[in-house]
Structure 1
């Protein structure tokens, strides 16, 4: 684990990220807050590309909780059976849709606690929805962010909760809204798990990773 970088270095890193990609976007396709919740819940242990392929057909026929309930669990399964753990995920999609209809008038709540009370929605999913839909500076720490944070020294920590806190505590507030997207994209395309592309890295000179690839 790298040592925590200082304020000035972190500011320079995120200035470079911002210059390269001023408005980073999440890669999960959605049309409203509800379809975003469903897409993020389905993305656990699956790729965004795989989820998008499955949800295009699903969201074309069910883009509200009421329509999803009308489709039913078997109908959901038909659309998402290419995704890992699809049976359990279909169950959760139906359960969370029923809760949204019964308790929230079919609307998606915008508090973290309310979101986390939905089946299949954990803190990471709630943070993604709060960030992507409402623009709240919530930090959704996935495997990419955990790896990048610890390799570089931007936000080191032994677990995702510590890394999340390190992002909130150490990244300047003007970069907080897009911080997790910049880190995810960096981890997905440059600072990959095996053979990171250090020669093409924007922050190679600022990164503390000792085993940089040539």
Structure 2
């Protein structure tokens, strides 16, 4: 190889080394997204009835009767309220826990002759329950013996749960619906029920999702 060719090769190699080691200064820009915060909301179910002056998570005496006699009925309602600014409610569950408070005769249980009718009011909640969707048969098939009438005794002391209030409709925040109750003293009840008394606690549980 001639000296001239060798020098040419060395020159090319040196040039490539310089190019390979060169630094390129292209422009770039940076942007940021800050203050990304996450806070949980609240799911709240308040109640109201004819006796209360304001909604709360507990009400008393929504439906009661004294000197109750066979064939008589008493009506009452509980308003389910989802306050504005909270989380939408997908459905509401209901349980009833009824206990005897007076029973002069051991062979009688007043719960078995108090027939229950339950309606979901279609109208804006007010002091009356007029119209609505009768859910009694649906409740009876889920928690009762699936044979009319539905009695207080068929709600097994708070363990039987009806979980289909407002399913598919929900209770958006800032809205309310009435659950209307009619309790009828069975006309076939005999003298063994005289002097009996019961106390019922109705518990409503709001769920964010219907699978709960």
TM range (shorter): under 0.3
If asked which structure has higher relative contact order (CA below 8 Å, sep 6+), I would say 2
Structure with the larger helix share = 1
Structure with the larger strand share = 2
